[in-house]
Structure formats: structure tokens, C-alpha cells
Amino acid sequence: MKKYLFSSILLLAVLSVQAQLVVDQNGDIAMKGPLWSGFSASLVTGEHKNMYIRNQGYTGNSWATALETDAAPISGKWGVGVQGTAYRSTENAGFGRNFGVIGRAGNATPGYNYGVFGQLLSTTYGAAIFGTTSETTFGDNLSKKYAGYFDGPVKVTGELEASGGLVATFLGMSSTHSGATLTSTQKTEEVTDLLQGLSANAFYQEKTIRQEVYSGDTIAKSPELSAMQQQIEKKIHYGLSADQMEAIFPELVYETEDGEKAINYMELVPVLVQAINELNFKISVLQGGAMMAKATTGIESVDENNLSVNIPSNVRKSSLYLYTLSGRKVLSREITVRGNQIIGIDETGLDNGIYLYSVIADGKILQTRKIIIGEHNIHP
């Protein structure tokens, strides 16, 4: 108590003659004085004490500032407007939470509530907000002007919306990453057949709404768009229909907070790779069939359309495909058994004639043969 009283006396001593130290009805200590009066004050106690600084009124300016600080760098010194530190010398204390700065804002003009606002007032390079995970770095020598610059990992748990361009190396999760559970594809059709229901659409990006903003007591126009933003608005863009994609691959379509549908183009890439593999497979089948047709003058006879195949035990997925000589797929069947086995061909619904069958395992062709439907003949 004595220590607190002594600190209060020191506080009274350093106040200017214009400032007043008063005690509110609730017991809070308040420093009041004429508008823009300047004074220095310090309150040092050995206990946790709260100091509230509140603006009760303002005139002649659009800013209602509760606390304003000013610090300009001088030779050998760094200018710091506000410094907030919440830190323990003991690592991993296991209790409490530390916040260097907390900013809260709300219930003002819709769209103009900012918990933390940073503005770069300089024609030279720098950042309005700089964040780092390094304990020894106090800024980097930046080569551009940034609204935000982060030195270290940055994680966004919600949506990330960028009105300009993204210059980065994009990394997606692999199917074998830690914690992933592999599952078999639920599609019965080939991916190439499914993709035929998609079509590329050309469109222009919606124009950015430019609004008048208040700066002090005057109205100023909003900043001009960057060179990248101008190009985005002028150029034609290409995309897929989210409705079409949702009907074929619903797993790749997401709904944003504002109800818009978005496509996960990153995970569409593996689907396209699978489609390329299927096309290559069809080409191999057709090329093999053409070579067999040229080299074969007769077909050996067997009793039934039974195919002998050997699927290695380490294969994850294998299937049997039956094509016409023109490349049209007429039958597909998943092979779940591993090892040597006999697979029968169901001729129901198939026209008599020559077909090509292939066995594919984990994207690789194990064997390709020609088969005659209706005559019970096989060419091995």
C-alpha cells in the first residue's frame, strides 16, 4: 500500500499543470486535461494494476483517439510507437496465456471495423504489418512495399481470398501422408468417361467496387488497383462449372461462407493424371490389337471364354477391361482375388465379333489379348 501511494505521488509530480489526476466513482484513477495537452506520466507498482485511458470527447478532427504516441527514429535509435510485451523468462510455464497486443473493434460502419490496423506511411519499401517467428530478427530489408509480410510459417484455417496474383510454390497433401487412410475409388465408370461431362467456360472477373473513403476531415478516393489487379479484371479467365463438377466429383466442390461454390483444382490434378493413364491404356490396347490383327491369320479354338490371369499379391487395384476393335469399352470388372486364377467373360448383351481384353493393375498393363465372342474362341 505504501509503495502504491508513493507511486501515485510521483505520478502527480510529473503531470503538467494542465493535467488533473482524479478518482472516478468506481475507484479508477483517471488522467484528464484539455484536448491535446501533453504530459508524461509513469505508474510503477509491485502488483498488477490497471490503467484506463479513455477519450471523452473530441473536436476539429475525424479521429476519436484514446491514446496517441509518437516516436521518430534518430541516429542510433529505433522509433517505437507502441510496444506490448507479455513474456516469462521461464519457458513452458504450463499456465496462462500471453498476448503482446490485443485489438478489438466492432459496431461501427459495416465493413470498417478493424481489430488491428497497420498503415505504411512511406515512399520507401517496408510493411504495414511484419510478423516473424524468429527471436533474433527485428525486420528484414524488404525490396517492395507490403501490406503484410511474414517471416515464418503462416496457417489459415478458414478461407484464403486473394484479389491479386499468388506467386508461390503450391503444395498439396499426398495420399500417403501421415494420418491418411487409403480408400478405393467408388466410381464404376472410367475417369475419362466422367470428364466428358465437363466443359471449360470463359468469363471476366467481377469489377472491384471503388468507394470514397474518409481521411481526416476530407473525402479521398480509394487507392488505385495494383498492376496485377488491373490485369485480373481485364483478362479472360477459364474455369469449370461447379454444378457440373459437383454432379460428377462432389468431393472436389466446397461451399464458402457466403454460399458460393468453389472447386478444389489442386486435387483435380490426380484425377486428370488418372484420365491420361486411361487414355494411354486405350491407345496401347488399340496398338496391340492392330499389330495382332496384322500378324495373325487364324485363331486357336478353346471350349469357353475363360481367361487365365495372374495378379501379384502386392497389387492394390486390378481390373479387366473389354474393348471393341474401334476402342469402345463394353465391359469392366474389378479383380479382387490375387494370384493365378481363371476369369470367365459374360457374353450377355455383347454382339458376336472380335474384342480386345486387357488386365491392368495399379495403372500398369499386365496382359492384352484378342477374344472372339460368340464362337467360344480365344487367341492367347
DSSP character string of 51-76? ---------SSS---S--------TT
Are 66 and 53 in contact, with CB atoms under 8 Å apart?
yes
* pLDDT, position 233: 87
Phi then psi for residue 221, to 5 deg, are: -75, 150
Q: Domain residue spans in the chain?
A: 191-263, 270-379
Mean pLDDT (the chain) is: 76
The rounded radius of gyration (Å) of the Cα atoms in the chain is 36
Give the Cα-Cα-Cα angle 313, 288, 310 (nearest 5 degrees): 15
- Dihedral pair phi/psi, residue 95, rounded to 5°: -150, 160
Percent residues over pLDDT 90 in the chain: 16
Residue 358 predicted with pLDDT over 90 = no
CB 322 within 8 A of CB 328: no
Please report which confidence band the pLDDT of residue 126 belongs to, taking 50, 70 and 90 as the band edges.
very high
For residue 43, the one-letter residue type is L
Q: May I ask the CATH class of domain 270-379?
A: mainly beta
pLDDT score of 34: 52
Model confidence over 27-50: pLDDT tens digits?
555 555 554 444 445 555 555 555
Cα angle for residues 64, 18, 49 (degrees, 5° grid): 65
Q: How far is CA 299 from CA 36, 339, 359, 368, in A?
A: 103, 27, 20, 15
> CA 1, CA 8: separation in Å to the nearest integer?
11
Cell of 209: 467496387
Question: So what's the pLDDT on residue 380?
Answer: 43
User: 318-357: b or e for each residue (b if 16 or more CB lie within 10 Å)?
Assistant: bebbbbbeeeebebeeebeeeeeeebebeeeebeeebbbb
Length of the chain: 380
Local structure of 32: helix, strand or coil: strand
- In degrees, rounded to 5, the angle at the alpha carbon of residue 116 between the alpha carbons of residues 39 and 32 is 25
**Are the beta carbons of 53 and 67 closer than 8 angstroms?**
yes
pLDDT level of residue 158 (50, 70, 90 thresholds): confident
Q: Which of 301, 270, 288 is nearest to 358 (CA)?
A: 288
Q: Which three cell numbers stand for residue 355?
A: 474384342
Residue-level pLDDT at 12: 47
Paired residues of 150 in beta bridges: 131
Buried b (16+ CB within 10 A) or exposed e, 268-287: beebeebbeebeebbeebbe
Quick one: pLDDT at residue 299? Answer: 37
How confident is the model at residue 118, as a pLDDT?
A: 93
pLDDT 10s digits, 275-313: 887 787 777 766 655 554 444 433 333 345 677 888 888
